[in-house]
Every structure is written in structure tokens, then in C-alpha cells.
Amino acid sequence: MSAPELDGRATWPRIRPAVRHRVERAILREMPTREDAPIRGRDPSRPPARPAPPVLPGDDPGSIAIAAERLRAGGLVVFPTETVYGLGANALDAHAVARVFAAKERPAFDPLIVHLADASAVGTYAEMEDADDPRVARLAARFWPGPLTLVLRKRDVIPGIVTAGLPTVGLRVPDHPVARALIRAAGVPVAAPSANRFGHLSPTRAAHVVAGLGSRVDLVLDGGPCRVGIESTVILLAAGRATLLRPGGLAIEAIEAEIGRLEVLVDGAPRTAELAPGRAGAHYAPRIPLVLADPRDPEAALAFVVRPGERVGFLAASAAGRAAAEAAGGPFAAVEVLDANGDVVGAAGRLFDALHSLQAADLSRIVAEPFPDVGLGRAVMDRLRRAARAAGDVREEPAFNR
């Protein structure tokens, strides 16, 4: 561990003693921990515990200073955003970014989003013509910080590995005080995909990250549960285009109210793979089959019949949906209600959390209630359709349709 980091410790007067203990452990983590050390008398039949990364409270300036230093030194730092937790690396350091792909087991063709502390940095990383596009200024002024990613033609300063060789880069200013403090303290743009292993659920709590990535990352900043809970909306605004690449935490209707109609890509079309490589790869594939079925639809009745020995989970859009499902069949081994009133903003916020819980409930299958395809419902349905398709439910319509 370098001396400046240790010296730096003494200059953080506001650090709380309990936090300080954890910060010191983080600084000194190269030293053997209890898990690493040979333990006399340990039961040899028990596998050693999976080493966990240091988890520091995100609201502490000492934690931010440590994490920023880690980023600058080429480390991987997980941080909370308002959408989901991100697995961050210095976007200007190709070697650090390569470690992100390795930690996630993410295919190299899928580009990363670059996170900025504020919109004033757009011109540093995007080509002037796109950075000066009045639509960019409009959207940035209206929705940043927030769950919107703008894909613009990139400047050479962004290494090709960040953008998977594409001439464009996704830029976003996240709306979370921990994320913004970290990016500001690091003084570099932060490339960060969602902090999950490829094909797994996105994390909306620090515990999801620790369970999924463990010591593949250097540090986790805990910021509590993510408020929006679903990934950002991604739109391409390069060379005069305005194309929706991924529905997400900002409703498309809100974007269209600012800049007019967005072009929509259909899954499977040749241009879709070229413009939105993230949609070509595998997506969250539940370890248990997932089907979308409306409990009020008589044609879907079979999905709600629970056979002897079966453990079926139900993902309800609302309390009323739960009641309808319980009237249509059951009993269910586990039920998650996304929002008591079926409010889609609340539902989007709980989607990944609920899926994490169902996934841990030892189920034979999951039935999910569909949402209307408007506003954030589109993003929720996009994720659920992809999960259903990945689980082999080929009856589902194309994942994004409008």
C-alpha cells in the first residue's frame, strides 16, 4: 500500500471511529484477513467462505476518498446510483476497463456507459458536432442528473475498449450523491456497467453485489437500496439520429416531449445488433423458468395451476393482481407484490429486488403479471420479456415493441 494513501488517512478529520476501522481494513486488505488465514481446527469438509470485498458506507467522506484513490490507481469500485449499482473503473484507463469485462464475464462486444459528475464534461468526451446538438443540451438540462444515457460520437480520449470498438460513447450523469461525490473526487470519468455478472440480475442493494461479484471487485460503497431500481434509458443522438436503444428509468414519453419522436429498433433486425449491441447478447436468465401471465385472462389460467410437489412463485404487479392470482390458482410458495396500488414507478423500483428474492426461494417456476406498455411499464416489460425469453418462453412478443 502506498504511503500517500496511509498519510491521507490522517487528514480526514470527519471520519467516524466505526467507519475508520473499516476504512483501515480496506486500506490494509492485502494483509491476510481471517478468511484467508489458515485456521487451526477448521472443519476441512466445509468449503472456505467466499472472500467478500470491503464494503464502506457511501455517505462518509473517508470512504469516498479511499474509493476515489482506488479508481485512480486502476481499481474496481462498486458504487450506488439511483438506477442500479455500477461496477466502476477509470474510463481513461484501458487496463482497468479490461478488468471490468473480466469481473463481469461480459462479452467484449458490449460497450460500457461513462459516468460524469456533471454535463459540462460532455464536450471533453463527445465529438463537438454531437456535444453541441441542441437536443443534447435540452435533455441534459431537463433530465441530468438522472436515469438517461446519451450515446454520442466519441472523442479519441475514450479508449476503444470502453465502447467495444464503436465510434460512439454512452454518457450519463447519475442522480446519486455518492456516485457524484465519487466521480468528482476521482477527477476522472467512470466507466460502469451494472455490478452483476453477465446474464444475472442487476443489483439494487450492496448485498446483491457482494453475493454476485465477491472479491472480484476491490471495494463496494454502500448507498442503501437504489431509488429508481431499473437501468437508465439509453438513446442514440449521433449524426442527426434520435433512436431508443434501451427503455429504462426515464419514460420515453418524457424524452419525446422534449425532442420529438424517437426512432425505435426492433429486436432481431440487422441494424439493432449494430446500433445496440447490448440487446444482442444473453440477458438476465432466471435459474428457474419465468412466464408472463395475466391472472384475469382465462386463456392464461393454466399458468396459475400448482401441481402437487411444485413450488410456484408469483410476481404481482399490484395487491389486486395478487388476489386475482390467488383466486385463479395457487397456493404459491412465494409472492412478491411490486406495488400495492400497481403504481409503475414504485413497481420499477422494486423489480430487481423482488426477482432476487424469488430467485432465492427454491421455486420450480415463476409466474409474472404483465404491466401496461406505457411509461416505465415499458422498461419493466422489456426486462420481464427478456427474462421469459431467456427462460425458454418463446411465446412472448419481441422484447421491445410499441
77 sits near ligand TXA (criterion: CB under 6 A): no
Task: Tell me which residue has its CB nearest to ligand TXA.
Answer: 278
Among 81, 204, 243, 272, which residue sits at the site for ligand TXA (rule: CB under 6 A)? Answer: 81
Sorted by sequence, the CB contacts under 8 Å of residue 208 that are 6+ apart come out as 85, 196, 201, 352, 356
- Which three cell numbers mark 175? 442522480
Among 194, 232, 318, 359, which residue sits at the site for Mg ion (rule: CB under 5 A)? Answer: 194
Among 63, 163, 243, 359, which residue sits at the site for ligand TXA (rule: CB under 6 A)? Answer: 163
Residue 116 interacting partner from ligand TXA, Mg ion, none (CB closer than 5 to 8 Å by kind): none
For ligand TXA, the closer CB: 119 or 293: 119
How far apart are CB 271 and ligand TXA at their closest, in Å? 12
Residues 262-281, mask of contacts with ligand TXA (x by CB under 6 A): --------------xxx---
Q: Among 55, 104, 82, 60, which Cα is nearest to 179's?
A: 82
Whether the link from the prior residue into 247 is cis, omega within 30° of 0, is no
Residues 322-361, mask of contacts with ligand TXA (x by CB under 6 A): ----------------------------------------
83 sits near Mg ion (criterion: CB under 5 A): no
- Which three cell numbers mark 211? 453475493
168 sits near Mg ion (criterion: CB under 5 A): no
How far apart are CB 22 and Mg ion at their closest, in Å? 28
Among 192, 210, 317, 347, which residue sits at the site for ligand TXA (rule: CB under 6 A)? Answer: 192
CA distance between the termini of the chain: 54
Among 27, 181, 234, 237, which residue sits at the site for ligand TXA (rule: CB under 6 A)? Answer: 234
Among 78, 84, 244, 366, which residue sits at the site for ligand TXA (rule: CB under 6 A)? Answer: 84
For Mg ion, the closer CB: 63 or 83: 83
Residues 236-265, mask of contacts with ligand TXA (x by CB under 6 A): ---------xx-------------------
Count of residues touching Mg ion (by CB under 5 A):
1
How far apart are CB 30 and ligand TXA at their closest, in Å? 27
Among 22, 153, 172, 205, which residue sits at the site for ligand TXA (rule: CB under 6 A)? Answer: 172
233 sits near Mg ion (criterion: CB under 5 A): no
Sign of CA dihedral 100, 222, 190, 276: positive
Sorted by sequence, the CB contacts under 8 Å of residue 348 that are 6+ apart come out as 228, 229, 230, 249, 376, 379, 380
- Supply angle C-alpha 33, 87, 89, rounded to 5: 90
Using CB atoms within 10 A of its CB, is residue 13 exposed (0-12), middle (13-18) or buried (19+)?
Answer: exposed
Residue 245 interacting partner from ligand TXA, Mg ion, none (CB closer than 5 to 8 Å by kind): ligand TXA
How far apart are CB 49 and ligand TXA at their closest, in Å? 28
Residue 113 interacting partner from ligand TXA, Mg ion, none (CB closer than 5 to 8 Å by kind): ligand TXA
Q: Among 397, 341, 338, which Cα is nearest to 373's?
A: 397
How far apart are CB 200 and Mg ion at their closest, in Å? 9
Site of interaction with ligand TXA (CB under 6 A): 81, 83-84, 86, 110-113, 147, 149, 151, 163, 166, 168-170, 172, 174, 192-194, 231-232, 234, 245-246, 276-278
Site of interaction with Mg ion (CB under 5 A): 194
